[in-house]
A and B are shown apart, each in its own frame.
Chain A
Amino acid sequence: MVEWTEEERAFIQEIFSKLKYEVVGPKSLCRALIVYPWTQRYFAHFGNLYNEDAIMGNPEVARHGVVVLHGLDAALKNMDNIKSNYAELSELHSEKLHVDPDNFKLMADCITVVIATQMRSSFTPAMQAAWYKFLSVVVSALSRQYH
């Protein structure tokens, strides 16, 4: 089981309390599709992903970005058992969506970059360390049902 210090829990709570899902979600997914363009292969049905402007203006990308970010809520609510909370979502990504699990870390990195651009100097190193650990646990839980 993952051990969290009181300070780490507080940092995670603080980040989520300042998080605007409808801003960070779309921006994070857009960055994943732009910075790691192969990820576009999972969203062929989203229409125009032809360039940065198209991706950033695409309403399906925006909508899905919010969905993906809310996916973190389950981890926030159950930090002591993130693994079990993502069993179904992991199976979905593996068996239905056929997502290469290496991409989970890329999405996590994009979420982190967007949070850094929003929080600026209040995203302290200790806070980044807790956030990185949190996302690592989520990525690991999402990868768990893969075979």
Chain B
Amino acid sequence: MVEWTDAERSAITGLWGKISVDEMGPQALARLLIVFPWTQRYFASFGNLSSPAAIMGNPKVAAHGKVVMGGLDRAVKNLDNVKATYAQLSKLHSEKLHVDPDNFVLLADCITVCAAMKFGPSAFTPDVQEAWQKFLCVVVAALRRQYH
């Protein structure tokens, strides 16, 4: 089981409390599609992804960004059992969506960059970054877990 210090728990819940899923979700997903363009293959049904401007203005990207980012809420509320919390979601990504699990860490990195931009050096301190990245690592591992 993942061990969290009190400082880590408080950093994670503190940061999550200040994150707007509706704001950061679209930004993070747009960044994923722009910085790591092969990920666009999973969203062919979203229409125009032909340029950064198109991606950033695409309403389906924005809507889906909110869904994906909102998915982190269950992990934040279940820090002591993220694995079990994401068992079904992991199966979905593996068996239905056929997402290469290497992409999970790329989205995690985009979320981290968005958090760094939003909170700046005084709130997104090294300690907070450490706790946040550990949290995202656990989420990514849980999402990979049902793959075979």
Contacts and interface: CB of A to CB of B under 8 A. Distances in A.
A123 B52 CA distance: 13
Nearest to A131: B35
Contacts of A31: 126, 129
A119 B114 CA distance: 11
A120 B121 CA distance: 10
A119 B118 CA distance: 10
Q: How large is the interface on A (under 10, 10 to 19, 20 to 34, 35 or more residues)?
A: 20 to 34
A128 B126 contact: no
A113 B130 contact: no
Contacts of A114: 116, 121
Q: Which label, helix, strand, loop or mixed, suits the secondary structure of the A interface?
A: helix
B129 to A, nearest CB: 5
Interface in B44-62: 52, 55-56
Contact of A117 (B37, B55, B117): B117
Interface string B96-129: 0000000000000100110011111100111101
A23 to B, nearest CB: 9
A119 B116 CA distance: 10
Given A52-B126, A52-B127, A128 B133 contact: no
A109 interface: yes
A116 B52 contact: no
B34 A125 contact: yes
A67 interface: no
Contact of A112 (B55, B113, B121): B113
A34 B120 contact: no
B66 interface: no
Interface string A29-42: 01100110000000
Given A55-B126, A117-B116, A120-B120, 10 more contacts: A31-B129, A35-B126, A52-B125, A52-B127, A114-B116, A116-B116, A117-B124, A124-B52, A125-B34, A129-B37
